[in-house]
Structure 1
Amino acid sequence: MVTSTDTGDQGTSAPSPVTVAPVLAAELLAEDGRMPVYVHVIDHPEGRVLVDTGMTRLHPAVADMDPRVFPLDSQPDFDVAGIDMVVNTHLHFDHCGGNHLFPDRPTYVQRRELDDALGQDDYTIRDWVQAPGVQYVPVDGPHELLPGIRLVPAPGHTPGSQVVVVEAGGRSVVIAGDTAVFFSELDEPRTEGQRLIRDLDPDEVWLSHEHEPWRPPTE
């Protein structure tokens, strides 16, 4: 099931110009059971952005995680052709395994992340990063993707990780990838990326492996 987060003016009945929706793309075996893998779709008046691409197939390198895969191109409610651009928060296998579905669209990633994924052994599934036709756009530091949507480096989970900040209607939403895996890591941030997210003072933060967004504690 896909749900939406309205980042527009909550005080009016007009439809929001910007929404963020999680889409379940896979499940992985973790210590406490099955861990979901979500990707996120940003609907913006100037384009539809997909943040991370999940997985589309199995691979021997991650067989021990017993993946259950829900490829985006096989989901009846997901419009692959309707995606205008892709963002990879980082290039671990469960975040880039569907990159090949979007060969003719720009895929934004921090240059440091792309260099590490292509240059380091055992970093990811390199064939998935190098899928034919993927059009990477390496960026160096903060980058405005669309009005109100920007990419911000958030080192920690990997040195080249980035988050996506969506600002509209006086609200701020962060799509964090694995900058934090669990809510507790935002409750008590330890990495540079986690502290950056808290400094942004967002209304909510979508994580790749949680069903609902994290929200700051209320006093």
Structure 2
Amino acid sequence: MNAAIRVTPVRVGELMAEGEPMPIYVHVIDHPEGRILVDTGLTELHPAIADMDPRLNPLNEQDFDIQGIDMVVNTHLHFDHCGGNHLFAGKPIYVQRQELDDARTKEDYTIPHWVDAPGVDYVTVDGEFELLPGVRLLPAPGHTAGSQIVVVDGDNGPTIIAGDTAVWFGELDNPGTEGQRLVLSLNPDKVWLTHTDEPWRPAATG
């Protein structure tokens, strides 16, 4: 990756999925022109997600410089990706227009008052968008119709922050959605996912 741009995962909690703990990460991009946060985790419990037994370590209870974030990206608006958006009221939060429309209109899609928390300021994107030099948003349908990925240019191929475009590594090893196929087509150096401790990397080929 461009040495001037760094991606750092921050663990903000975990969920139980079929009896197995599943970590929740957000990702910070330190760029010479600004500090970007990709997804915001969640900061409180809610009856709608009680069956997933969330254990939370939200950003506002960590040694995390919330005021130092210049902009936020939501890969999509499920509860574990937008539940901390309220911490960034007044900062621009970039989301695909399709995703915001779906989150506001579809039943049982997310937790609506977490999406439209007071002061949350969305910047809607239609398709590809350059956030800062060397950092692009690309639509990656699959997990949701309006999902997007963040592509950070690098010397050895891009680093991708993919949200839930894939939940497990196996979904990138054997891609089944448009978004997963897009990720592979970009020949990434590594791919950060929300629910894995380490990034996925392409298998070495002879």
When normalised by structure 2's length, the TM-score is 0.98
Letter in 2 for 1:91: L
Q: Which residue of structure 1 aligns with residue 202 of structure 2?
A: 216
Report the 3-state secondary structure (helix = DSSP H, G, I; strand = E; otherwise coil) of the residue aligned with 2:158: strand
Write the mapping of 1:1-219 to structure 2, written as runs, cut at 5 A.
7-8=1-2, 16-76=3-63, 78-219=64-205
1:12 corresponds to: none
DSSP 3-state at the match of 1:108: strand
Paired with 1:104 and 1:91, the residues of 2 have a C-alpha distance of 18
Contact 2:135 2:151 in 1 (8 A): yes
C-alpha deviation, 1:121, in angstroms: 1.0
Measure, in 1, the Cα distance between the counterparts of 2:27 and 2:157.
18
**Identity in percent:** 66
SS at match of 1:171: coil
How far 1:175 moved relative to its partner?
Answer: 0.2
How far apart are residue 168 of structure 1 and its match?
3.3
Q: Which amino acid aligns with 2:98?
A: R
User: Offset of 1:38 from its aligned partner?
Assistant: 0.3
Q: What SS does the aligned partner of 2:159 have?
A: strand
Alpha-carbon separation, structure 1, partners of 2:23 and 2:179: 22
Structure 1 spans left out of the alignment, 5+ residues: 1-6, 9-15
- Secondary structure, counterpart of 2:194 in structure 1: coil
Residue deviations 1:78-127 (CA, integer Å, cap 9, x gap): 11010000000000000000000000110000000000000011000001
- Moved >4 Å (runs of 4+): none
What is the alpha-carbon distance in structure 1 between the residues aligned to residue 140 and residue 111 of structure 2?
22
**TM-score of the superposition, structure 1-length normalised?**
0.92
Deviation at 1:170, TM superposition (A): 4.8
Report the 3-state secondary structure (helix = DSSP H, G, I; strand = E; otherwise coil) of the residue aligned with 1:168: coil
